Amino acid sequence: MPYKFSLGGLAGAMLCLACEPRVCEDRANASDALPQRLSETGLFQDLERERLGPGVFAYAPEFVLWSDGTDKRRWVFVPDGAQIDTSDLENWRFPRGSKFWKEFSRDGVHLETRLLQKVGNGDADWAAAAYLWRQDQSDAELAPYGAIDALGTTHNVPASGECFACHDGRSNRVLGFSAIQLAPRSEATPERLPETAREALFASALPTLDVPGTPTESAALGYLHANCSHCHNQSAAAQSAEKCLNPNQELGFDLDFTLYTDRLTSVSSTATYRTALGRVIERGNPDASKVMEVMASRQGGVAQMPPLGTERVDERGLRTLRSWIGAL
Amino acid sequence: MRARALGALLLSFLTLCVPLARAEPPAPFPPDQRWQVAADARAGTSTGPYVTAAFPETTAYGATVTLRGRLRWTRRFSVGLRVPLVLARLEQPAGALYAEAAWGNPELYGAFDLLRSEQGGWTLDLTTSLALGAPLAEHDSAQLAGRVLSFADALEGFGEPELFTPGVLPVTPAAHLLLSSGSWRFGASLKLPLLTRVSDASLPSDSATRPLGFVPVGELSARRQLLPWLAVTAAPRLTVRAVSPVDDHASPLQLLVIGQAEFQLGAALSAAAVFQAPLGGALGGSTLAGGLTFLATF
């Protein structure tokens, strides 16, 4: 691009009229370390038959991020001989070479598969990009700038820089693969990670962790954790991270960052109850609760929550929160 | 969308201090004047078509800034220059914004005052011009500069393709008619940009470009001097993408309506607040812009 104006900062400065919080850095070079095709990433050793590559394990977090109703599958890989350091329950440390994939499909058609790959030893050393599936589903191509309306659907594939808008909210950059999402519960629950995977991935067994409250309360707290807490959390790392989203750090919806301090012994010990009640959540009155208003909005920008990655309201999620707030 | 468009419009009026871009030559250039310099700014928001499969449309808000100058060479011949710059925030697929900037195609033109006639209180001026653009606006492999330029093109209702089409060599013959009487002035312009493709190397293979684009643009205007220091102008502009330089599946016809309030700030200096909105076509309802022009003639 011989004539592309190089002073992107000038553009940012001149257009920073409203201090738009959604402005991201173009971090497409974050995908430089990644292969050009999904078939080269190690996810599958036989892509057509979907035979996973060696050391790759499927997992399913208990609380999931709303992605406009797409079907999602997830996988994790840790290099042979290395393991995830879970000694800090609130912030696992991942060895260099770790990989996470998340696949998005609609009506059985694969649309994109995102890859998050640890490329250094520091917590922030991750590369990220999406792979856009070919129309014939034979493979997926690296798409560092994403795509709009992938394969004729309404699903948009994020640009690399956008990945970090959410992932920078955690000091280890990993979302959905954490103690609160994967640890065993006191009561029988569906397996989130096969035992063979747990043995291979973790240096020590995960403790039993329960989300407090009634089923309604824990469902609501889990929903807020999965959908809001990657930005709205009060951990020091989140406050200091360079994020393109700069949310109100006074609010916290996370469950992870209270594991040590409170052991999640009661709902009142959660960040949500401590920081959001009376501010964006009005006891017994979902209609007066800001959190419901922004969740029900898809006007774009920060008038809607989440502000990125969704164009459809999560009606089921709204019902979950409405029941909970109404009963508070 | 509506709220964002209105917000951007308001912002443009409240905060832009940099002047904007019109078909040249846009204003009367009296024979006894030697220099005319202007700065134009348009700010707004747009969702318009783009040319790649991954990005069939572009949503952005931002501004175009065009500096222009014109020098009278002889009594009837003048030369001019336009240099366009675009500053935009491009909406990314998941909804984040990237701040990007890109140059358009600088343009050098010569204008010849073909006719001046006064009769019955009416004055008729006919000017012809020929502009040659430098093909400096480029697509980039990231489709950022290309989308920024596409946004600028949309803000102008596709009416400045010679400035904002990347990868082409623009040659633009044009004719401009001005009819003045008392407080009224009527204008008619027709320009015929011929866009010869010189590069599309950075576009993905699924993008359909054409070796030659031909995008005639016609504009009518009516201007009324209300007060010694205030004039208002209304102008519809029709762009016909007879041969679009890219196959973006957009409608070939695009109407743009322009409203302008012009303030005489001194003997040689005027400023204008401009509002423009495409109607119908590919941009109607999704694109809105406002801006300022500062024009000095001396």
Tell me, what's the ipTM?
0.85
A6-23 b/e (C-beta count within 10 Å ≥ 16 → b): eebeebbebbebeebbbb
Q: Give pLDDT, residue A305.
A: 92
- Each residue's pLDDT expressed in tens, for chain A with a length of 328 residues: 333 334 455 555 455 544 566 777 777 777 888 999 999 999 999 999 999 999 999 999 999 999 999 999 999 999 999 999 998 888 899 999 999 999 999 999 999 999 999 999 998 899 999 999 999 999 999 999 999 999 999 999 999 989 988 898 888 999 999 999 999 888 888 889 999 999 999 988 888 888 889 999 999 999 999 999 988 887 755 444 455 666 666 888 988 776 665 567 789 889 999 999 999 999 999 999 999 999 999 987 778 899 999 999 999 999 999 999 999 9
C-beta atoms of A4 and B7 within 8 A:
no
For B95, which of A132, A147, A309 is closest by C-beta distance?
Answer: A309
3-state helix, strand, coil in chain A (%, to 5): 30, 15, 55
Q: What is the phi-psi region of residue B166: left when phi exceeds 0, alpha when psi lies from -120 to 50, beta otherwise?
A: beta
Q: What is residue A168's three-state secondary structure?
A: coil
Calculate how close chain A gets to B58, using CA atoms only, in Å: 9
User: Is the Cβ of B11 closer than 8 Å to some Cβ of chain A?
Assistant: yes
Q: Is the pLDDT of residue B296 over 70?
A: yes
d(CA B15, CA B9): 10
Residue A236: DSSP 8-state: H
User: Is the Cβ of B204 closer than 8 Å to some Cβ of chain A?
Assistant: no
Give CA separation, B28 vs B113, B224, B259, B260, in Å: 10, 14, 18, 16
Give the number of other CB atoms < 10 A from CB of residue A168. Answer: 22
Q: Is the pLDDT of residue B7 over 80?
A: no
Mean pLDDT computed over B227-256: 93
> Nearest residue of A to residue B139 by CA position?
A1
CB pairs below 8 Å between A and B: how many?
Answer: 134
pLDDT in tens, A94-148: 999 999 999 999 999 999 999 999 999 998 899 999 999 999 999 999 999 999 9
C-beta atoms of B92 and A28 within 8 A:
no
User: Is the Cβ of A187 closer than 8 Å to some Cβ of chain B?
Assistant: no
User: Is the Cβ of B70 closer than 8 Å to some Cβ of chain A?
Assistant: no
Calculate how close chain B gets to A111, using CA atoms only, in Å: 12
d(CA A282, CA A167): 29
C-beta atoms of A23 and B98 within 8 A:
yes
User: Is the Cβ of A151 closer than 8 Å to some Cβ of chain B?
Assistant: no
User: Is the Cβ of A142 closer than 8 Å to some Cβ of chain B?
Assistant: no
For A4, which of B15, B87, B145 is closest by C-beta distance?
Answer: B145
User: Is the Cβ of B237 closer than 8 Å to some Cβ of chain A?
Assistant: no
